[in-house]
Amino acid sequence: MGSDLEAIPITSQKHDPAWKHCQMFKNGERVQLKCVYCGKIFKGGGIHRIKEHLAGQKGNAATCLQVPPDVRLLMQQSLDGVVVKKRKKQQIAEEMTNLNPVSREVEVFDDDVNTGMELIGVSDAIDPSSSLSDSGEDGTRNKGGEKRGRGRGRGSVANAKAVVTTSIGMPLLVAKRTNEHIHMAIRRFLYDIGASLDAVSSAYFQPMVEAIALGGSEVVLPSCHDLRGWVLNNSVEEVKNDVDKQMATWSRTGCSVLVDQWNTVMGRTLISIFVYCPEGVMFLKSVDASDIINLPDAPYELLKQVVEEIGVGHVLQVITRMEEQYIFAGRRLAGTFPNLYWAPCAVHCLDLILEDFAKLEWINSVIEQARSITRFVYNHSVVLNMMKRFTFGNDIVEPGINRFSTNFGTLKRMVDLKHNLQAMVTSQEWVDCPYSKKPEGLEILDLVSDKSFWSSCVLITHLTNPLLQVLRLVGSKTRPAMGYIYAGIYRAKEAIKKELIKREEYIVYWNTIDHWWHQHWNLPLHVAGFYLNPKFFYSFEGDIPSEIRSGMYDFIEKFVPDLSVQDTIIKEVNSYKNAAGDFGGKWLLELGTLCFLHKRSQILFEQLHDTRNCLERHRLSDLMFVQCNLRIRKMVNKNEEQDPPISCDSNSILEDWVKGNEVCSDDFETLNWMAVDPPSDDARLWGNSHSEVEDLGAGAY
């Protein structure tokens, strides 16, 4: 290499994965890149050309013959992502260009250019943080942390395709400076009232902003009295209309009562009652059970009152947690009302199974080792940024439905990112990092390089992932699980047996599952759901086991006391068995199977049960009715995209994985949360590319 080449360090702002596989040099005023594997020097073309070189893509660069296979694959995947983004960007730009009213609205602004509004071109507005072009790597960041390219300045009517909001609902693309002003106004409001910053993720946040923008300067904002008065009353009526539509179907489809008990920060025991039917979930009411929960008959009397309030003929099952008082109350309730079932909460049951798995000494030891990695990473901004670059923006922790699903879900995430973590701790960037030389850093190096550690992680993942699949299925906000849960547990046990082979090894885990699941295992409701699901019924090899057939007939006898109707149903079952009909059992498959996983509003619940004023109590009760049902509607309608792991709502679940230790206090003066890179929109999320239902339906029984 010539002596006139000056090495240039690659900064942390360069996020393209190809930067980790090349070196940068300066030759006069020109920047040149060198492949670290074959030594080839590129005098032009930027990082994209290096990526093509490493990926083996012919055209602009010769193929590198010495690049490792895993690096070549990563570069190919990165190039594929670039192509998809460019096509999407071009498609959106074309759609906006074809909007006829654009030119007319631009002419309006020609008459008043000094309106104070800064317009930007469509091409800049599509993806302001895009890293698709090489020039973006040399951009600077504005005060809001967004990347701003060198060539980007104020757009104008003369040199940009500007799109503005009109009364006919066209999109508004405002400049960054205007956005910053809006962001600061929202920030001041949320900081002032102490609201969770996750509030901006609400499904109702964007419609609120759009409604205010649509009203323009003539908007009259509601007062506190408006929100407490006629606005709340209208909201109650709106929610009641939706709830009434669900209640109207109960006589036809039946419903499930879901009972959720929880404790507030003030130590109060509250019980929330939900009702599930194929039309959706509704919040019915909340009860302060602090003074009665330990009384022998109190849970039974409460459940009995709820069943009678809904209608004895409408309730098919009552679902509670697995505490002893609820087991007793549920069985007594089923005796009082012969046509309904009591069922323990499937989510709680699965959580108890995973908890017992985690108590096994060897599994607990591996979890603690894995936590030492995540705690070190998430308490040092330099290491955290480095990890995000090597994992392409992904976190190595994964919040689950509860604490123990988080433990095993995070182990699986780390197994998926094993090679990325190993690449990080063997990189020059890690060697140069001062934290790598600390005792904890050296421990991380040893652990991530330890084959036995990863072998244990893989084994734990194979043992627990089938149960996590069932947990995600019964916790689904969109798919009823009744027809799948029996098969899910069966498949989980078979997967454990296949992994461990020897009976003396797998029987430990089988016994744990059977210990907690026996309340569900022999429940005719789940057996009938399995029987009436064609996906499983027609894939069963040989004759259906007698206990399944018996459970199906027990279910019919319980729900249909009329003998003549029973005979008709059994004839339909025989037709279904011979693939001559579907028995019309779809309604059963749509029954709920879990205690609904809702977001609890601690403050509102406390206020409701603390107030002694009858009018205020009634108002707060209506407010809670609206809030809980709106949140349920948002959860059910929410797009099933993965939420960012490190968020306000997930901090408590992830605490064991990200909390600092005494070492952090030594470095407190040097800690800087502002040094953490913002989340990348280009992160390729790791996870299942197929549904749990497809897994359960694969193969024969």
Q: Is the pLDDT of residue 512 over 90?
A: yes
Contact between residue 592 and residue 478 where contact means Cβ atoms under 8 Å apart: no
Give whichever of 8-12, 28-32, 253-257, 430-434 has the largest mean pLDDT. 430-434
Asked whether residue 388 falls in the same domain as residue 502, the answer is: no
Query: For 680, which DSSP code?
Result: P
Mean pLDDT of 335-348: 88
Q: Is the pLDDT of residue 428 over 70?
A: yes
pLDDT (average), residues 411-438: 93
Distance CA 523, CA 508 (A): 23
Whichever domain contains 280, its CATH number is: 3.30.420.40
| Residue 511 sits in the same domain as residue 577 | yes
Cβ burial, residue 265 (10 Å; 0-12/13-18/19+):
exposed
Do 430 and 493 fall within a single domain?
no
Q: Is residue 493 part of a domain?
A: yes
Q: What is the mean pLDDT of the chain?
A: 76
If one counts every other C-beta atom within 10 angstroms of the C-beta of residue 49, the result is 18
Higher pLDDT, 397 or 107: 397
Within-domain flag for 579: yes
Residue 93 domain-assigned (yes or no) = no
Tally of domains in the chain:
5
pLDDT band (50, 70, 90) for residue 161: very low
Whole-number Å distance between alpha carbons of 218 and 215? 6
> What size, in residues, is the chain?
701
pLDDT digits (tens, 9 = 90+) for 519-578: 665 677 777 777 777 777 777 766 777 777 777 777 777 777 777 877 877 777 777 776
At residue 595, the pLDDT reads 45
Instruction: Identify whether residues 64 and 119 lie together within a single domain.
Output: no
- In terms of domains, do 528 and 626 share one? no
Instruction: Give the span between the Cα atoms of 361 and 326, in whole angstroms.
Output: 31
Residue 150 burial (10 A CB sphere; 0-12, 13-18, 19+): exposed
Least confident among 73-77, 216-220, 432-436, 574-578: 574-578
SS (H, E, C) 574-626: HHHHCCCCCCCCHHHHCCCCCCCCCCCCHHHHHHHHHCCCHHHHHHHHHHHHH
The pLDDT score that the predictor gives to residue 361 is 96
End position of a domain, from candidates 637, 659, 690: 637
Per-residue pLDDT band at 646 (split at 50, 70, 90): low
CA distance 580 to 588: 19
Shortest CA distance to 98 belongs to which of 174, 163, 167?
163
Contacts of 467 (CB under 8 A, 6+ apart): 350, 353, 354, 408, 492, 513
What pLDDT was estimated at residue 521?
A: 59
Q: Is the distance from CB of 518 to CB of 526 less than 8 angstroms? A: no
How many of the other CB atoms lie within 10 Å of CB of 403? 17
Q: Would the pLDDT of 648 be above 50?
A: no
Tell me, yes or no, whether 296 and 209 share the same domain: no
Q: Is residue 497 in a domain?
A: yes
Q: How confident is the model at residue 131 (pLDDT cuts 50, 70, 90)?
A: very low
Residue 135 lies in a domain: no
Which candidate, 472, 476, 485, 481, places its Cα nearest to that of 591?
Answer: 481
Give the other-Cβ count within 10 Å of 402's Cβ. Answer: 18
State mean pLDDT over 114-128. 37
Among residues 522, 539, 528, which one has the least CA distance to residue 584? 528
Q: Which pLDDT tens digit goes with each residue over 597-639? A: 455 555 666 677 777 788 888 888 888 899 888 888 877 665 4
**φ, ψ dihedrals at 42, nearest 5°:** -110, 125
- The answer to whether position 643 is within a domain reads no
Between 107-116, 289-298, 299-308, 475-484, the lowest mean confidence (pLDDT) is in 107-116
Q: Which residue has the higher pLDDT, 338 or 159?
A: 338
Domain that holds residue 290: 246-344+600-637
392, pLDDT greater than 80: yes
pLDDT above 70 for 122: no
Distance CA 256, CA 259 (A): 10
- pLDDT category of residue 456 using cuts at 50, 70 and 90: very high
Is residue 21 helix, strand or coil?
helix
Lowest mean pLDDT among 64-78, 134-148, 427-441: 134-148
Based on the domain organization, do 619 and 653 belong to the same domain? no
| Structure tokens that stand for 165 in this block | 């909001």
Residue 105: the pLDDT is: 39
pLDDT of residue 318: 92
The DSSP secondary-structure symbol of 666 reads: H
Name which of 466, 469, 464, 482 is nearest 594 in CA terms: 482
Residue written as token pair 């009715």: 625
User: Is residue 215 within 8 Å of 195, Cβ to Cβ?
Assistant: no
Q: Does pLDDT of 193 surpass 80?
A: yes
Quick one: 605 and 668 in the same domain? Answer: no
Could you tell me which residue, 176 or 424, shows the higher pLDDT? Answer: 424
Does residue 140 fall inside a structural domain?
A: no
Of the chain, the percentage scoring pLDDT greater than 70 comes to 70
Are residues 79 and 110 both part of a single domain?
no
Residue 146 lies in a domain: no
Residues 180 and 288 both lie in one domain: no
For residues 75 and 113, state if they share a domain: no
* Predicted pLDDT at 519: 64
261, 295: one domain: yes
